[in-house]
Amino acid sequence: MTARWARPLCLLGLCVGPLAMAGAEIRIVNGDGSGQGLGDRSGATPVGGNPGTAVGEQRLIASQYAAALWSATLGNRVPIAVHVQFPDLDCSGGTAVLGSAGPTLLYDGDRYPAALANERAGRDLDPGREEIEARFNARVGRPDCAVTAWYTGLDNVAPPGSTDLASVFLHELAHGLGFIRSSMAFRDRARDATSGLLLSQLGAADFDAAVRRPMGVSWSGPVVRATKDSFLDSTDGVLHLPDGGAFAVARARFSPARVSVTAPLMLAQDADGGTGSDACMPIAPAAGALVLAERRLRTDGGLLCLVSQRALNAQAAGAAGLLIRSGVPGGGPVSYTGDAGTEVNIPVWGVSFDDGAALEQALDAGALSVLVDGEGRRAGENLAGDVLLYTPSAYAEGSSVGHWDSSASPDLLMEPNINPRLPRDLDLTPAALADLGWSPPSGLSIGATTLGPDFSDGRPPQFIVHVVNRGATPATGVVLDANPDPKLALVSTGLDCPTGLPCALGDLPPGAVRTATARYAIRSGQPGSVAVEFRISGGDPAPRLQDATTRVVASRASGCSTTGSGPGGAFALVCVAAWARRRVARAAQVGVSAVSAAFLLRRRSMKYAAPTPTS
């Protein structure tokens, strides 16, 4: 492993050469020792488009896939380096810490992370330091950490029980690029609903209170506001009271969608005169009513039941809909999951514990008729229509604030739990980074990096390239081509370009990604480095000139523990996976980072957790 003091010399060597016109390279810097982490030589079978034949090589390729995709999506002009390690992190109690990530430095009064500060300056402000630092759990998949396993394929089809490593890298890189609460630029986009102030304007006590109010902090950036409707479902609702009050409700996933109800509200009562109000047993007639049911332990010691059973009981009583009050104080409304088959045909919504208590208090004062607008709120928004940040009442270090709320639907990349098969368009994350000061492309763009370890006499240089359509309309007739160093001869290409270069990628819908790999041979000699210029040579609408071409330099293996071809950075954050839809996130666990105490405050956390309860 390269000594820490020697790394600046290696990074300075990577700075030689012109900056790329399009997405400048985001390079993975291997911080592990020989035979460890990214250098683990244990045998592995190629999987899901990942050609690596060793555990460490496959991890490296998955990380390079993510880095090149962010390069194409971000369109950065200054290269970024990510220092990556795979140490043993916590795996206990049925959960596993997957990783940790964040920027190495914040500039301008803690406003901008290192990568964004470099981009604003148009140059690397500290060539001897990586911009982002990340650590991922090497224990995942071992016998002592069997809760999940890394899936290193590039096809985004991780099988059940495994964690898609590329998705975790994509998530963590976003934190290193600036989606992190310690950045003042981030706080300038996060608004507290109670005071109406930005988090950057709050004193310490008010800040601590704001980040512990569920559904209390939202994103105020204009780019996310303009983009969110194309990503979020309009399937959660708003309950309106006669006095003008309103409460957020969350539609159960098995419930009919986009259904609105105007009806008298009544509390569920056991049909046999019992004290239960949870609708677990047959309930008293409720013709045309919206039934409010409790979700908590019965006072008579009765058993809990599935939400779908409650819905069937309300439906049998003639109810027009069912409203389920959460049993957990201080949280938001729960969107319950489960398979109710085709039997349930009334709408079912969750309401928070506190709002449910207010409704019960209003019922105590007399009859109450309410309107539930089934399309009044998109899943993941507040009542004002802004996207919510994750602020559970029990503050979760590393998870709170620096993620989208887990009520969002469909699942978003930057929720506090990594969900399976997230689209590679990166959903709202590029828009959030644009609100923070980045300038992502608005049409076709390209990004690339090296593939696998640095080349040597027995290991030829390889590259991975992404072409993305960040525009609002389809791009037709897209063609990828390359202009290699004269020392190089193309041997083969793969993935979306199986027959060589130039390569016809066809039509790209908005948000689409096409990926190619290219393997070269060195014609003669033993060059210390070689370069390839990849470009989008065809497409309508044509990409901007600065988005159409990127240049990647591959280096010969040396004493520097590096891979890729760009200058430096470091990031740290903790992440853990979840395999079922989770509208209520579990407590997050903070990982350990081998960096300064000040840096520890900039981590994010996520956990592997059980599915959302359906009872």
- Of 487 and 607, the structure prediction assigns the larger pLDDT to 487
Give domain status of residue 132, yes or no.
Answer: no
**According to the model, what pLDDT value does residue 350 have?**
95
| Residue labelled with tokens 């523990």 | 561
Give domain status of residue 12, yes or no.
Answer: no
Q: What is the value of pTM for the model shown?
A: 0.86
**Torsion of the alpha carbons at 537, 541, 542 and 546, rounded to the nearest 10:** -130
Residue span of the structural domain in which 243 resides:
236-377
Residue 302 — pLDDT band, cuts 50, 70, 90?
Answer: low
Distance, in Å, from the CA atom of 370 to the CA atom of 361, rounded to the nearest integer, reads 14
- List the Cα angle 415/431/220 in 5-degree steps: 80
- Of 21 and 178, the structure prediction assigns the larger pLDDT to 178
Give domain status of residue 579, yes or no.
Answer: no
Of the candidate ranges 12-16, 211-215, 451-455, 565-569, the one whose mean pLDDT is the lowest: 565-569
What distances in angstroms separate CA 607 from CA 62, 151, 165, 419, 486, one per listed residue? 20, 17, 14, 11, 48
Give domain status of residue 259, yes or no.
Answer: yes
Cis check: omega of the bond before 410, within 30 degrees of 0: yes
**According to the model, what pLDDT value does residue 96 have?**
83
pLDDT tens, residue by residue, 467-524: 999 999 999 999 999 999 999 999 999 999 999 999 999 999 999 999 999 999 999 9
pLDDT beyond 70 at 583: no
pLDDT tens, residue by residue, 129-150: 999 999 999 999 899 888 889 9
Query: What value does the mean pLDDT take over residues 448-469?
Result: 94
Give domain status of residue 348, yes or no.
Answer: yes
| Residue labelled with tokens 């700075």 | 15
pLDDT tens, residue by residue, 241-250: 999 999 999 9
Give domain status of residue 10, yes or no.
Answer: no
Give domain status of residue 169, yes or no.
Answer: no
**According to the model, what pLDDT value does residue 398 have?**
82
**According to the model, what pLDDT value does residue 329 have?**
86
Domain count, the chain: 1
* Residue 375: Cβ within 10 Å count: 16
Nearest of 604, 589, 605 to residue 95 by alpha carbon: 589
**According to the model, what pLDDT value does residue 521 have?**
96
User: Which CATH number does the domain housing residue 371 bear?
Assistant: 3.50.30.30
Give domain status of residue 245, yes or no.
Answer: yes
Residue 603 — pLDDT band, cuts 50, 70, 90?
Answer: very low
Element of type H or E holding 361: helix 353-364
DSSP codes, 36-70:
SGGG---B---BTTB--SBHHHHHHHHHHHHHHHH
